Amino acid sequence: MSLRGVIAYVGVGSNLEEPLRQCRLAIRNLAAVKDTRLLRTSAFYRTEPVGVSEQDAFINAVAEIRTGLPARTLLEALKAIEQEMGRRESIRWGPRIIDLDILLYGQDIAQEDDLVIPHPELHKRRFVLVPLCEICSYAIHPAFGISMQGLLIRLEKDDRSAVVKIEQIAG
């Protein structure tokens, strides 16, 4: 792949069937997407569930990619990875084997029924902002004009949910 393309950030999360293994597999699958190169990933974090509290903790991370795919095609590739890994639709914010979300796609803003960029909950979620700040604290939210670090600082005044870096285990 050439050096052309868009830098995008993808949120990765799981809380079912060995979540750390599921997240690692999803990142490997993401790295294999056509016209896409995995540039780096954050550490993995154990996080409290949001929305539905009666479920196991999640493992979350963020991947930075360079992609030549349009945002819509990237979304389709992420949905295909989720399906291949066994994700089934369930209750909103409920347990899942894998969850892949486009957080940022360059400085693009999209507002469609099934494609909203930047991710509409990004600025409200410590489990997204902490790993995102690990790899791109300087990135500017295209709609708010505030850095990821600035969003995290604002959020931490009200949100103390647990986001704990875990040891990365080979495999």
- For the chain, domains (ranges, CATH) are 6-120 (3.30.70.560)
pLDDT for the residue 170? 41
Residues 6+ apart with CB under 8 A from 60: 11, 12, 13, 23, 44, 45, 47, 127, 128, 131, 163
Catalytic residue among 24, 46, 96, 126: 96
pLDDT for the residue 13? 96
pLDDT for the residue 157? 87
Residues 6+ apart with CB under 8 A from 64: 7, 8, 9, 38, 39, 40, 41, 135, 136
Q: pLDDT 10s digit of each residue in the chain, 171 long?
A: 456 899 999 999 999 999 999 999 999 999 999 999 999 999 999 998 887 777 899 999 999 999 999 999 999 999 999 999 988 777 777 788 999 999 999 999 999 999 999 999 999 999 999 999 999 999 999 999 999 999 999 998 888 888 999 965 444
Q: Is 96 a catalytic residue?
A: yes
Among left, alpha and beta (phi > 0; psi -120 to 50; other), residue 166 is beta
Catalytic residue among 24, 46, 87, 126: 87
With contact defined as beta carbons under 8 Å apart, do 11 and 60 qualify? yes
Sign of CA dihedral 7, 131, 21, 160: negative
pLDDT for the residue 61? 97
Catalytic residue among 24, 46, 99, 126: 99
3-state secondary structure of 99: strand
C-alpha 87: how far from chain center: 16
Catalytic residue among 46, 101, 125, 126: 101
pLDDT for the residue 2? 52
Cα–Cα distance for residue pair 87/79, rounded to 1 Å: 9
Cα–Cα distance for residue pair 135/169, rounded to 1 Å: 19
Q: Is 35 a catalytic residue?
A: no
Q: Is 99 a catalytic residue?
A: yes
pLDDT for the residue 159? 84
Phi, psi of 98 (to 5 degrees): -160, 145
Phi, psi of 64 (to 5 degrees): -100, 125
pLDDT for the residue 169? 45
